[in-house]
Amino acid sequence: MKKLIRGLDKFKQSYVASHHDLLEQLSHGQKPRVLFICCSDSRVDPALITQTDIGELFVIRNAGNIIPPYGAANGGEGGTIEYALEGLDIRQIIVCGHSHCGAMKGLLKLNKLQSKMPLVYDWLKHAESTRRLVHDTYPHCQGEELVETLVAENVLVQIDNLQTYPVVRSRLHQGKLKIYGWIYNIENGEVLAYDDTKHAYVQPDYSLIDETPLKDHEAVEGCPLPITASSQGLSSWYGNSDTFSVSG
């Protein structure tokens, strides 16, 4: 606690003293550009990783960066998502998993948690589809490789869960929203981003950063024809540091 109190004093003497205009501006309201969904793990700091200032990120943090499907839980995640999109008009969401995730390790021994940590057990059951997917798809994975595979697939499962929310689905359809999947590697500070075309996590191409605001799609008359997507083959863990293929 002494360290925290010293931190409060340092914050007041250094940051507050040099950011009066910003704090005054923020006192009148917020306009963050990104909803950042990440794990509660103390080693993961979204503002530090992205080098953003206060007021720039709207953050959801919980064990395992889990978003229960719409209507599956009465927690604050759904309300926060709704407010972020409807109240703040946020148009970008990042779901960020991380290496060595304790929640994913707990998911591997879910039944053992029921007696000692029943609330953790109930929460992690929302990621049961991640556990089942990895168990059935990657039977060869063991140890740390299995945990990292869970981390990677869990991000994609939570993105799927996000799309069960009416406000998310609607805004995606209108072209008002983009969703990104990231993995943060604690050991080296690297971030991998999911590439839909490669079906893999790859190093972000920093030369292609797009700052163009999303444009609303024009309303259309009639109903579109249904599209059947062809199934993609499952890829395997490549084992290098900058590419991680998954089944998504």
Q: What CATH number should be reported for the domain holding residue 220?
A: 3.40.1050.10
- Total-model pTM: 0.83
What the block records as the tokens of 91 is: 């148009």
Q: Is 238 helix (H, G, I), strand (E, B) or coil?
A: coil
Whether 128 is covered by a domain: the verdict is yes
In a domain, 13, yes or no: no
Residue burial 97-118, b: 16+ Cβ < 10 Å; e: rest: bbbebbbbebbeeeeebeeeee
Residue 126 tokens, joined: 């929302």
Query: How far is it, in rounded angstroms, from Cα 192 to Cα 164?
Result: 25
> Does residue 57 lie in a domain region?
yes
- Above pLDDT 90, what percent of the chain? 77
Amino acid 74: pLDDT: 76
18 within a domain of the structure (yes/no): no
Alpha-carbon distance values, 101 to 43, 49, 144, 213 (Å): 10, 17, 10, 33
Instruction: For tokens 């995730």, name the residue.
Output: 101
**Rounded average pLDDT over 113-117:** 93
Q: What is the pLDDT of residue 245?
A: 59
State residue 206's pLDDT score. 74
Residue 21 lies in a domain: no
Q: Is residue 152 part of a domain?
A: yes
Domain that holds residue 196: 30-245
H or E stretch covering 243: strand 243-245
Is residue 2 one of the residues assigned to a domain?
no
Query: Does 10 map to a domain?
Result: no
Averaged pLDDT, 192-208: 86
The number of helices, as runs of H, and strands, as runs of E, in the chain is 11, 7
pLDDT surpassing 80 at residue 232: no
State the total domains in the chain.
1
Cα 158 from Cα 126, distance rounded (Å): 10
Contact assessment for residue 220 and residue 230, using Cβ atoms and an 8 Å cutoff: no
Amino acid at 43: R
